[in-house]
Each structure stands twice: as C-alpha cells, then as structure tokens.
Amino acid sequence: MKTTTAFLALILASSLAVAQDVRIGVFGLFRPHELALSAPAGSALVLHVGGEAIVLEASSGVSIARIRVRGDYVVVDVGARVLRASELTVTSRENGPIDFNLAVPGKITRHYRGTLEVKPASRALTAVVTMDLETAVTSVVAAESTVGTPPEALKALAVAARSYFVAGKGRHRGFDFCDTTHCQFLREPPASNTAAAQAVSATRGLVIAYQSQPLAAMYTRSCSGRTRIPAELGLPSAAYPYYSIECKYCHQHPSRWQSRLSAEDAAALHSSNESSRLRLDRRLGWSAIPSNDFVMRKEGEQTILRGVGQGHGIGLCQAGAKAMAEAGADFREILAHYYPNTVILTVGHASPLR
C-alpha cells in the first residue's frame, strides 16, 4: 500500500505546481454597477488603468477609488482624476499580491489579499481576485465552519476545500470559482491565530485523490442520516463515485426545518432535483429550502415544506465530522469515512501523508 500511495504522489506532484493561485469572482450576486476600492493601513495599491499606474496609499491622502461601469469601459475616480479603460488591475508595487478592501457601496465590504481585476460584463462589473491557494482555503474554512468546531473536523474541511480548488477549476467563464455556495462560500481570510487558519496550516498542501487524480470534493453542512450520491439529485456523475454513507450523528440528531412556498414556486420544486432547489434559493434566499430531503403539504394558497438536513447532502457531512472529531477521530479517519477508496496526498511533493 505504501508503494502504491507513493507512486500516486509522484504522479500528482508531476502534474501540479507547488505554489498555486486560484481566480475567484467576488460579489457576483450583487451584479454591481459601482465598487469602492481602498488601501488598508500599510498597503500601497497600484492601480493599472489603461497605460497609467496610480498609487493608493492611506498615508498619501489618496486611499479610495470609485469604480463604475459605463458601457464597455470601467471609469475610475481617484482623487481629482477620472480615468477610463477596458479593465482595471490592482497589484502591489512589485506587481504581486497586496492587501486591499473592496466594497459594493451600501451593501458589503470585504478585505482580500491577492491581485484584483475589474472588467465590465453585461452592464455590470465583474471583480476577480487572484489569491494564493492556501489563502483561499483559509478563507473558505473560516466561512464554511461554525464556532466550536473541533480542530480535526476543521482539518478535514480544509483538505476537502483544498481538493475542490485544485481539481475543480474552470467552473465560470473568466474565472475559476465564485464566492457563493455554488462553488465554495468565501469570506475574508482570518487572522493566523484562529482555529480555521491553524487547521489549514496543519494540513498545508494535502488533498484527497482518487485513481491518482485530485478530487473536487463536495461537502455539506448536515445530511439526513446518510449522505447522497449525485444521481439521486439529478446531478451528473463525477469521476469519483460518491457513496451513500451512514451518518450516525445526523440520524440521531436531524437538523429540522420548515418553509412556506407559493403554489407557483412549489410546482417548480422537485426533491430529486438539486438544480430546482438552487434556482428557488437564489431568488428567495439561501435559507428558503435548506435541503432536498422534505415533504410537501398544501395549506390554502401556500405549500408547507418540512424537511431535514442542510445542503445537498453529498460527500463530507460537517455535522457528522464534528461529532466524529468530538468522539476522538482524527481528520484522516473522518475523510476516509465520507470519501471511501481515496488517499490523502501532498500537492507538489512526492511524499504521501504518513
């Protein structure tokens, strides 16, 4: 087994670079027509607009830029200057990653570390942050996990999230991933002393692999006592044959929910079709229909949904992983339970996890 695992590690190392970046589209749900870019203390942002380079720096008195869409151009207001170009890029003075704040005015502000590209698309602005793989994983673990999650469960989530980033690129035109649950929920990177950051550091470079290839690992907040396979939800088959795995915690402690839908919305919903659930959630809110495990009952002009679980129910169950960790399981045992017949390898190195 050690020889086989080492061989798989060599194959994986030959196909993946040690340092990887991921391109993540942010704020896409807002379809912003305006963005506000600002420089945190200690950061000097270089804005590349057409053939010009402008520095944003808090100490210089010019630390905020307003970015608007005008047809096929972005218009950038910096101090007393107004510039127009087909795109805007933001880097450090060395043309590398930098800390910056980006906001949709009046709606949301987030801190990022990486480089930024802003382009017009369909009368809105598309913002893409290119960040280091480990920074992206840390941001996801912080966003997807709950307070009090044991370290080993956080490590399992970190490996699953990293695997998804490594194996699942190209999910959107113009960038690899979005910052919503369509891909992986992403917030700003937490401080290095947080539990999420420490879990990512402890598993740095580790991915789940199946048949010598990294696995775009799916995971869910809470299953209904057993995990699902894609075919049950009308999803296409993946390279990895997901299994229906018993989850003792969710079987004994189901996460119950109830929702009300109009007759029209209920008619468009099918429990065996994940796409129909997501279409309604995007319009009604992500908590409208938390899972695909529900029963319907008519009540006047409305339909009552009663269900259990949170998410699509495929792959790692975070609630079950937390319970396993609290019972003494380490992250390797958790991953082996929810992703049978896989191995854990190190990206870019010829050494398997020991």
Considering the domain boundaries, does residue 94 fall inside one? yes
Tokens encoding 203: 């598993």
Considering the domain boundaries, does residue 219 fall inside one? yes
Give me the pLDDT at residue 348, please.
63
Tokens encoding 126: 């598309």
Mean pLDDT of all residues in 125-132: 96
Query: Could you say which of 94, 122, 150 is where a domain stops?
Result: 122
Residue 236, CA distances (Å) to 233, 273, 324, 331 in order = 9, 11, 29, 28
Residue 256, CA distances (Å) to 161, 250, 291, 294 in order = 26, 10, 10, 10
Write out pLDDT tens, residues 62-97.
889 999 999 999 999 998 899 999 999 999 999 999
Rounded Cα distance, 193 and 64, in Å: 29
State whether 180 and 318 are in the same domain: yes
85 lies in which domain range? 34-122
State whether 104 and 175 are in the same domain: no
State whether 203 and 222 are in the same domain: yes
pLDDT at 41 over 70: yes
Considering the domain boundaries, does residue 41 fall inside one? yes
Written as one string, the DSSP assignment of 24-87 is EEESGGG--SEEEEEPPTT-EEEEEETTEEEEEEGGGTB-EEEEEEETTEEEEEETTEEEEES-
State whether 149 and 266 are in the same domain: no
Tell me how many domains the chain contains.
Answer: 3
Give me the pLDDT at residue 287, please.
86
Mean pLDDT of all residues in 1-24: 55
Considering the domain boundaries, does residue 158 fall inside one? yes
Rounded Cα distance, 184 and 145, in Å: 12
Write out pLDDT tens, residues 288-303.
999 999 999 998 889 9
pLDDT at 164 over 50: yes
pLDDT class for 353, splitting at 50, 70, 90?
very low
pLDDT at 7 over 60: no
Write out pLDDT tens, residues 247-266.
999 999 999 999 999 989 99
Do 224 and 254 form a contact (C-beta atoms < 8 A)?
A: yes
Considering the domain boundaries, does residue 23 fall inside one? no
State whether 335 and 206 are in the same domain: yes
pLDDT at 281 over 80: yes
State whether 103 and 145 are in the same domain: no
Mean predicted lDDT score pLDDT of the chain: 90
Query: Could you say which of 89, 122, 155 is where a domain stops?
Result: 122
Q: What is the pTM of this model?
A: 0.87
State whether 217 and 185 are in the same domain: yes
State whether 239 and 338 are in the same domain: yes
Rounded Cα distance, 222 and 116, in Å: 34
For residues 21, 210, 144 and 332, what is the CA-based torsion angle, rounded to 10 degrees?
A: -110
pLDDT at 268 over 50: yes
